[in-house]
């Protein structure tokens, strides 16, 4: 099986300012070795470059400016790679450093290259250690965080399992730091608005994501057919127990009809250029594999041309909270969509004086992430 293990900064950073949590990395390395011994192919997505770099530079807080963060990442990435290399050496296991950028995967060729290189590394028996190339990726163009990156990597290698190791036991009914009665949710069959609501928001001092970004990553990865597990980084040996059928942390079951590879780039390669908010009827239609018609579009956010990728949101009636449900390539510009939203297809030609077809986004260009 193909397995992705994601470790966050809050787990990677050790007690001393400039050190990595070597004990944890050593344990993860041992687990990866065991997984490989029984025939699995494993990829690690590791954060920690910025955190470790800050420590080495003597900074006690994460810097505010982007360039300072990028500089810290340059310093820290080398420290991070060295710790992995040192522990994998003990098992004579070769590793490869892969630094991905969103901009590099913006076009389909870049996306395909990343896929082919990772596949090659796995065939060679190498364990890829992946992070974002923070030096070239500023806040505008970066992957939102490494949780998201781990979902992208799961798609790239077509992983069966993604393990997100973090500083809590899993997803709870409420924030366990605030409410001791909060209960661990063991299995999530579908990531609906209730689950998204349980995720809270903020990350830790050094990390970036928090539970909510893990849920968004789980939503993406399960839509590609990957089973996602969120569990405590305290005991990485549980990864093996989970694969043997035991229950630990929170498991998110994969979608029964995963997004196919052709649409994966739409879902996670291209960076979206605008947003659409759709209504109930449109959500029901796209969930059944139909195209998105102008009649189901309630709102257009941003200015964009034809042929770009858009994020598609649905607003829950109870709380008006928009949640992402799909991504797709628009046939019409934002100006055109503003004129034809809410209208039946027959009106398109009348209103615009031309038509690119009945749908705003054709079903072949639509990757439905959640319904
Ligand atoms: N790439 C960042 C780092 O290595 C981490 C980003 C994240 O954890 O989301 O420090």
- pLDDT, tens digit, 9 for 90 and up, residues 290-302: 999 999 999 999 9
* Residues found in the chain: 371
Nearest to 355 by CA among 344, 365, 366: 344
The tokens for 36 are: 């490989």
Instruction: Tell me the mean pLDDT in the region 23-35.
Output: 95
- Return the CATH fold of 2-262: Carbamate kinase (3.40.1160)
Q: What pLDDT, on a 0 to 100 scale, did the predictor assign at position 195?
A: 86
Alpha-carbon dihedral 335, 337, 338, 340, rounded to 10 degrees: 130
Instruction: Tell me the mean pLDDT in the region 324-343.
Output: 96
Between the CA of 282 and the centroid of ligand 1 the distance, in Å, is 36
Contact by Cβ (8 Å): 166, 217: no
Q: What share of the chain is helix, strand, coil (3-state, %, to 5)?
A: 40, 20, 40
Give the domain ranges of the chain. Answer: 2-262, 272-368
Q: Which of 72, 74, 100, 132 to mutate to test the pocket of ligand 1 (most atoms within 8 A of CB)?
A: 132
pLDDT surpasses 70 at 200: no
Paired strand residues for 164? 6, 230
Q: Which of 21, 70, 71, 73 to mutate to test the pocket of ligand 1 (most atoms within 8 A of CB)?
A: 73
Angstrom distance (rounded) from CA 101 to CA 118: 14
pLDDT surpasses 70 at 140: no
Domain 272-368: give its CATH superfamily: PUA domain (2.30.130.10)
Between the CA of 214 and the centroid of ligand 1 the distance, in Å, is 13
Between the CA of 46 and the centroid of ligand 1 the distance, in Å, is 8
% of the chain beyond a pLDDT of 90: 68
Angstrom distance (rounded) from CA 177 to CA 331: 46
Alpha-carbon dihedral 96, 75, 147, 282, rounded to 10 degrees: -110
Atom of ligand 1 nearest to the CA of 148: 9
């Amino acid at each position: 099986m193909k397995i992705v293990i994601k470790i966050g900064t809050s787990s990677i950073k050790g007690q001393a300012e400039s050190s990595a949590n070597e004990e944890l990395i050593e344990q993860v390395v041992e687990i990866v070795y065991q997984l490989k011994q029984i025939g699995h192919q494993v990829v690690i997505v590791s954060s920690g470059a910025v955190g470790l770099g800050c420590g080495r530079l003597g900074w006690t807080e994460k810097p505010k400016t982007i360039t300072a963060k990028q500089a810290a990442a340059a310093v820290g990435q080398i420290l991070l790679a060295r710790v992995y290399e040192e522990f994998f050496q003990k098992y004579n296991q070769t590793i490869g450093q892969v630094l991905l950028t969103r901009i590099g995967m913006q076009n389909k060729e870049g996306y395909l290259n990343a896929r082919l290189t990772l596949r090659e590394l796995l065939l060679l028996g190498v364990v890829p250690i992946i992070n974002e190339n923070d030096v070239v990726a500023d806040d505008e163009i970066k992957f939102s965080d490494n949780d998201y990156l781990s979902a992208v990597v799961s798609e790239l290698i077509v992983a069966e399992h993604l393990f997100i190791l973090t500083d809590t036991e899993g997803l709870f009914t409420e924030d366990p730091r605030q409410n001791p009665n909060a209960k661990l949710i063991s299995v999530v069959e579908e990531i609906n608005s209730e689950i998204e609501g349980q995720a809270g928001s903020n990350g830790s001092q050094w990390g970036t994501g928090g539970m909510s970004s893990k849920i968004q990553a789980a939503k993406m990865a399960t839509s590609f057919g990957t089973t996602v597990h969120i569990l405590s980084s305290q005991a990485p040996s549980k990864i093996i127990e989970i694969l043997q059928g035991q229950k630990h942390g929170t498991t998110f079951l994969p979608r029964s009809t995963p997004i196919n590879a052709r649409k994966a780039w739409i879902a996670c390669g291209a960076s979206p250029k605008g947003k659409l908010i759709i209504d109930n009827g449109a959500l029901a239609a796209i969930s059944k594999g139909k195209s998105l018609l102008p009649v189901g579009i309630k709102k257009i956010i941003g200015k964009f041309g034809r042929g770009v990728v858009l994020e598609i949101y649905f607003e829950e009636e109870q709380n008006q909270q928009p949640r992402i449900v799909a991504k797709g390539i628009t046939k019409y510009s934002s100006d055109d969509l503003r004129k034809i939203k809410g209208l039946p297809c027959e009106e398109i030609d009348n209103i615009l004086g031309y038509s690119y077809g009945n749908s705003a986004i054709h079903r072949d260009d639509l990757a439905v992430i959640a319904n």
